[in-house]
Amino acid sequence: MRHSSRLDYVPYRLSLVPKLLSTARPADVVLLHTSKSYDGKVSLGIEVNVIPAVIATVKQRGGLIIGQVNEQMPYTFGDGEIDLDVFDYVIEVDTPIDAHPIPPLNDVAKEIGDRIAFKVLDGSTLQMGIGAIPNAFLSAVAQERTNLKVWSEMFSDGVLELESAGRLDQDTLIRASFAFGSHNLYEWMDRNPRIQMLKTEKTNNPAKVADQPMMTSVNAALQVDLLDQANASRIGNKIYSGFGGSTDFIVGAMHAKGGQAFIALPSWHPKANCSTIMPLLTEPTTHFQHSAIVTEQGMAEMFGRSQREQASSLIANCAHPDARAGLWEAGRRLGFVE
């Protein structure tokens, strides 16, 4: 969708999208991909997300609710369970669910993952995205920490690794809004009472995130500047991922008791051949005020540091060696470092 001429982007935090879909952008027809039925219900399976809000709006407006019932969609418990009598039409299919192969853990991802895992305490609640760095982080955590919990917008195979390693708190449900991973992950999710799939307005509500014990948020960014501002949504004038849910979790984690919010990224963009740490963002800011920024070069603590301490630490600890001289010079010119 990033390169589609039909794309018309509506900037919105993910936690507020259900409100958007019930007010300014209501729907009249919704086509849902569901599991097969059990006891008169189907499940939205691997993705609950904003769909319950759409269903409620369409139902209220007297629109059409159509279900594509798939034998191969996992049945998951929680907010995605829907009574069959809600549907106006049902289409039966037997189609494999798209899977996301587990990416290999390169050295950069491993280094970043290890650095963040070192800061995680036993009993922490985890939120992370998808990709090599989150998987490397979870793999490292699985070697060292116990009694962990999951409250996340999404999860992938790294959470299955934690469960298999016995690192998760067995008295706390795994709670998320969607999952994307391997077929092994989907088989594990099917009718698993340990997993509760929730609607976005719950998982991404910063107040609910802040209620989770030692909430630890790990998110990616495209660029970070010397003021601890991160761009995770745009490359030039093109949408990369939009706001998504990272802002919701960063705000929630920073308000949680014992909470931490990490931004993880490589220090250098190989395709663009440039530093990811820059003097000032030239793109819109997606989020700011984090606990720490982490690259394969090191970690820069942000919380409680002055503007000058933040900028100096980012250059010295996170920036690629080839970019440091230019960043020191630009930082002095801007008055951010001495």
Q: Which residues are catalytic?
A: 153
**Residue among 175, 262, 240, 247 at smallest CA distance from 212:** 175
Contact 44, 10 (CB under 8 A): no
CA dist., res. 264 & res. 304, Å (int)? 19
Contact 43, 199 (CB under 8 A): no
CA dist., res. 301 & res. 10, Å (int)? 33
| Alpha helices, H only, the chain | 17-22, 51-60, 107-119, 132-144, 157-164, 183-189, 200-203, 206-210, 246-255, 307-313, 321-334
The DSSP line for 202-256 is HHT-HHHHHTSTTEEEEEE-SEEETTSEEE-SEETTEESS-STTHHHHHHHHHHS
- Residues in CB range of 92: below 8 A, 6 or more apart: 69, 71
CA dist., res. 269 & res. 272, Å (int)? 5
258: its two tokens: 């014992």
CA 44 to chain CA centroid, nearest Å: 19
CA dist., res. 244 & res. 71, Å (int)? 30
CA dist., res. 49 & res. 114, Å (int)? 30
* Residues forming a β-bridge with 38: 41
Type of residue at 216:
T
